[in-house]
Structure 1
């Protein structure tokens, strides 16, 4: 909901300027990026990953609903002079605490996967299952949003009077989140971690995964192991794959609702519930393909799977550019949403599987490695959104299909860069492969 409806809520409901709304999202991404490596290092050194996860969940629960509730004194028919500084300040403070909590939750939860098993195939399956659970939660969000919007739609557009809809959705989601994380902490038991880092060496799994047998890292002290990974080109190559898959996914989540709202100005007959139903289809597709990946990713290999996902992502952007004009049928829009969901789920899962393989037996360093891999995507996504918002025309008449262009060129560029990074990584691995 952070990516999908934050800008829509800020711009359509709070009447915040596009560049300020973009700056709010950038702030969140920067805080997330800065908190991620700190959390990664601390989670490996102090306490358990479950304790860190619980702390993050509490922080997120306390701040998330407030992000979608109109701030104190921010009434749309009052004098707006003080709102120019008060509204951004209010939401900026909430965003900072929310994103710190989010970083804690994500890194600690990802880091549990290598702690559960040393088997690469099982890790790939767990990564796929984790993504499926994430998709299911997002499906729930969009289903709730669709029900609320459909049951309370009295106008074609999302407007300032719709603030209570976002409030209700955020409160329902937060309640479900509390039930979920309480059940997780009550019933899930994590094995004790081996801080020594000793374990079986990781070997090539035969499916094109970027894994190398390496006993040297296991012999190093903890601090040296971090430096060992930082000196590995493979770490940065893996990070690029993840960054571009996340950038495509994040920009799609942010700008699909805005594109649909933009389309309503030309074709009002579609109805505002499309803002929820199209992302819902996107996530259903994402869930289906992540379910398919669970059993097939080890058969094809992560590199091949990532390439297929990137091609699907690029294809969806070409479809938007060539065929999705304001008069395009709803069926076409749903089909494009299906492609977006398929491409994003395939690239995200395969890039995370590459990261899990890179960690190997060093599960005690998993939080730090995941934080390094995910660090860049936070900054890149935030900067991209601010740049896109900054170039948006003040008058919609000057660029009536601006967000269609964003989905075409920004998302398409992300998919193309993902393919380029994969090609370079494959080329480097071939050149550095030792002769037998």
Structure 2
């Protein structure tokens, strides 16, 4: 290698390790908006939508599970291909296109039923399951490519947290956008028939796709294709075999924390609308208003987290703080009587804070695990996402399968407390998962994996 090549490579390394500018972080952050706004609708309203149009709770759970299983296997497959060939933006664009097409087919009504003039619930379940699988395959391609890009855009650990926090902040914006759209649609139209219910969710779906695709275009135009930086002369930049990660204790710890974090977020989100309507008997607007409060608080916290210089101890401390808050929120939900259902607005504030703390730090732990070994970044993201999708799908299937057999306990005539599956899904499951996540995080050794203290400013002006 000539001296000029060495100087050029050193300059390139310097560019790769210095803090990122705010504009770069912004362009990256909006890249997951389509996935986020559709996923928010998916976990918040899919089970509710399917049961409202006539599917049994078990059939609705089968549709959800089929999507999660397809998503789980797709994440591993896509992660391996990205590690081999790169082209993050191509995978992102293809996945986004698949998401946009299939999402409208799920919430737009049963298209195959209309084509074949069938009113069979079994055929309807199979049709929805097929489109759910297609949607989740596209979603996985977008998610893995976008998450893996963090580790190939920069080696600067603090900037990696900034990218993750920015993504999470715009995730909150996407979720708020969904609930704003839902609040308008639910307020303007009535869901008194199956056709009207399908029309409601069709408008929500089309609006989500339109907004999300606009931000996908901004991301693709503003973000440069990152280099995988695979160099056979440098082992930490060569493609890393799967077995390497399986020999690291930190891999299993981060995988467990990420899995538990996703269980907390996804299971609680799936049962939030059921809880406020069926258990607390709140107004229909509450199924959009309460989630909106959660995401407003999460957005504020995510923005604040961007201004913190990070190290291993802080990642652990902030995750534990979020987990402890969720434990108290889960207990409050589990014991909240219907007579004081307005207290749910207060609980939602703390849920929003806890969600932001555990999500940003859990995803950032992946970047700490990967470090400078970017040759396996997509596999790490894909394998962890596989665990997340499979566990969430199975958890929701098990809970939803018992939905019709929920026990009911009356404390007294004025204050009714229903220990339903919905209450367990929103209260007990997140609280237990948060408790285990805090325990695992406490015993992590993150400081030894960070090469130097993260004392530089988070972002360049």
Shorter-chain TM-score: what band?
Answer: 0.7 to 0.9
Distance 1:197 1:250 in 2: 40
Any idea what the Cα deviations from partners look like across 1:206-230, whole Å, max 9, x if unmatched? xxxxxxxxxxx528x5254x32122
**How many residues end up aligned between the 2 structures?**
398
Does the 8 Å CA contact 1:197/1:364 hold for their aligned counterparts? no
Unaligned runs of 5+ in 2: 1-40, 410-416, 449-461
Q: What TM-score do you get using the length of structure 2 for normalisation? A: 0.80
Distance 2:355 2:302 in 1: 10
Among 298, 302, 309, which residue is 2:310 paired with?
298
Distance 1:10 1:417 in 2: 32
The answer to whether the aligner puts 1:365 opposite 2:376 as a matched pair is yes
The CA deviation at 1:65 is 1.2
Unaligned runs of 5+ in 1: 200-216, 430-436
The answer to whether the aligner puts 1:42 opposite 2:81 as a matched pair is yes
- Residue aligning to 1:186: 221
Does the 8 Å CA contact 2:62/2:129 hold for their aligned counterparts? no
- Residue aligning to 2:413: none
Write the mapping of 1:17-416 to structure 2, written as runs, cut at 5 A: 17-72=56-111, 82-153=119-190, 161-196=196-231, 218=236, 221-224=238-241, 226-263=242-279, 267=281, 270-296=282-308, 298=310, 301-322=314-335, 324-330=336-342, 332-394=343-405, 400-402=418-420, 403-416=422-435
Distance 2:431 2:124 in 1: 34
Q: Relative to structure 1, is the Cα distance of residues 164 and 154 closer, same or farther in structure 2, using a 3 angstrom cutoff?
A: closer
Distance 1:133 1:262 in 2: 30
Q: Relative to structure 1, is the Cα distance of residues 160 and 415 closer, same or farther in structure 2, using a 3 angstrom cutoff?
A: farther
Does the 8 Å CA contact 2:187/2:285 hold for their aligned counterparts? yes
Distance 2:286 2:233 in 1: 52
Does the 8 Å CA contact 1:286/1:342 hold for their aligned counterparts? yes
Q: Relative to structure 1, is the Cα distance of residues 295 and 19 closer, same or farther in structure 2, using a 3 angstrom cutoff?
A: same
Does the 8 Å CA contact 2:366/2:381 hold for their aligned counterparts? yes
Does the 8 Å CA contact 2:98/2:134 hold for their aligned counterparts? yes
The CA deviation at 1:408 is 2.0
The CA deviation at 1:43 is 1.1
Distance 1:247 1:7 in 2: 16
SS at match of 2:339: coil
SS at match of 2:340: coil
Does the 8 Å CA contact 1:297/1:305 hold for their aligned counterparts? no
- Residue aligning to 2:46: 6
Distance 2:360 2:240 in 1: 29
Distance 2:233 2:291 in 1: 44
Distance 1:74 1:414 in 2: 39
